[in-house]
Structure 1
């Protein structure tokens, strides 16, 4: 059964986790489908922005714990390895990733949100690490992504002490970009993705690549990369520059 649905409209590739009766929990089959859908849409030239959504009350409750309990320990490693391919593709992409996150954003669902650049949540959205509750350690890149998003002490509060962070606090901590009413979450997420996709999306994608790798390079190295990137964007985005000049009041 297909629990991952994908579509493209107005240069936005939309991936919807569609297993609402299980809070969009991830088993091996879902992990394989999600990874395949992500890589396929990111490879498409007509996709400028990728939007991640979860159907039903929750974005994603993380790994399927019931399935995990019924399988041998190697199964958990297999699911993690597959999800790591997905996170690696999201992190390395030069396209902006937007997520609309409601309900539970737990475990690997938290990692999917962290791999996104713009996250729209509701005041009731709950961000929780969850791994420690079932005697596991983080996977899907959470131990690397979370400290970079919120700092080491706040990351420890979530990953080690199990602190749950809800919408307003998540906004304060930098886990989300903005909050929207639950009824407006998906429409606002679509609108935000469409706004980026219809603008200077190449420059936005190149900027997200610079931001994603900022922790891994020295300042002198980054200054060189910025010179190369701004020159490349100047060649590619003549129309955006012309449009900006036309829109300015003439003096």
Structure 2
């Protein structure tokens, strides 16, 4: 959980370290089936805490962003289901973190913004890759260049989130969705996520071939089935 409510859960340097360790621990824990990202006190994450490391010379900023990029790459490539439960603002790299998750459920009061340009920055945290794939190139360019913050209804309409629910029901629905994701076989989840993520760079015939390998792994992992 992102927990710096005085700054709408902006992530400072120690926060990135905590997130990095949490991702490593989650991936290594065979009993952990689904990762849920959310934020404290009615917000998700307002981005990077600019007083906590993403400042200084161009070189120092680039160095820090490479570290952050490694963390976000691990989240995006996680071989287990990931769920973002967004109660409020998800902006800047906070938006990137939400969109890196496999499924995003948002409260009706949630807000989303690629606000990088507002502080003289370009998209980071994978936003330049994620946004066009989710909402199309033209919408992505508008959101990035204007820094416009959109509400949950618009986010749902343009495909930025999976679903929007009443704020009062967010925790209950988020918990229920996490249980559904956790019920998926670990092998099926990992193979399915790998197939879907790789679909952007494969031909149709390559996808068909990869599906054979994935299905073989899934069948072999069934309880009581011969490999």
Shift in Å, 1:93: 1.8
Structure-2 residue corresponding to 1:111: 96
Match among 194, 204, 215 for residue 219 of structure 1: 204
- For residues 20 and 59 of structure 2, the distance between their equivalents in structure 1, rounded to whole angstroms, comes to 19
1:187 positional shift: 2.5
Distance 1:116 1:70 in 2: 26
Q: Distance in 2 between matches of 1:113 and 1:180?
A: 16
Relative to structure 1, the CA distance from residue 78 to residue 69 in structure 2 (aligned partners, 3 Å threshold; closer, same or farther) is closer
CA distance in structure 2 between the aligned counterparts of 1:198 and 1:112, rounded to whole angstroms: 23
Q: In structure 2, the residue corresponding to 1:99 is in which secondary structure?
A: strand
Relative to 1, partners in 2 of residues 1:70 and 1:169: Cα closer, same or farther, differing over 3 Å? closer
The answer to whether residue 74 in structure 2 is matched with residue 53 in structure 1 is no
Contact 2:35 2:83 survives alignment (8 Å): yes
Secondary structure at the counterpart of residue 200 of structure 2: helix
**CA distance in 2: counterparts of 1:122 and 1:92, whole angstroms:** 26
Give the Å deviation of 1:132. Answer: 0.2
Q: CA RMSD in A?
A: 2.0
* Structure with the higher fraction of residues in strand conformation: 1
Tell me the TM-score normalized by structure 1. Answer: 0.83
**8 Å CA contact retained: 2:13, 2:52:** no
Q: What residue in structure 2 maps to residue 96 of structure 1?
A: 81
Matches within 5 A, 1:237-248: 237-238=222-223
Tell me which residue corresponds to 2:193. 208
Match of 2:115 among 130, 134, 138: 130
Instruction: Give the number of aligned pairs.
Output: 225
Report whether the alignment pairs 1:231 with 2:216.
Answer: yes
Alignment of 1:19-34 (within 5 A): 19-34=4-19
CA distance in 2 between counterparts of 1:84 and 1:238 reads 38
Measured at CA, do residues 132 and 32 of structure 1 come closer, stay the same or move farther in structure 2, by a change above 3 Å? same
Gaps of 5+ in 1: 1-15, 241-251
In 2, are the aligned partners of 1:25 and 1:63 still within 8 Å (CA)?
yes
Please show how residues 174-213 of structure 1 align to structure 2 within 5 Å. Answer: 174-213=159-198
Structure 2 CA distance for partners of 1:218 and 1:69, relative to 1, 3 Å = closer
Q: For residues 204-228 of structure 1, give each alpha carbon's deviation from its aligned partner in whole angstroms, at most 9, with x where no partner exists.
A: 3321221122112222211110111
CA–CA separation in structure 2 for the residues paired with 1:212 and 1:167? 25
Question: Separation in 2 of the partners of 1:239 and 1:173?
Answer: 44
Distance 1:232 1:65, change over 3 A: same
- Using the size of structure 2 for normalisation, the TM-score is 0.91
Residue 3 of structure 1 is matched in structure 2 by none
Q: Which runs of 4+ in 1 moved over 6 A?
A: none
| 1:89, distance to aligned residue in structure 2 (A) | 0.8
> Which string of whole-angstrom CA distances, capped at 9 and with x for unpartnered residues, describes residues 181-239 of structure 1?
22221232122111121233432332122112211222221111011101111111347
Three-state SS of the structure 2 residue aligned to 1:65 is coil
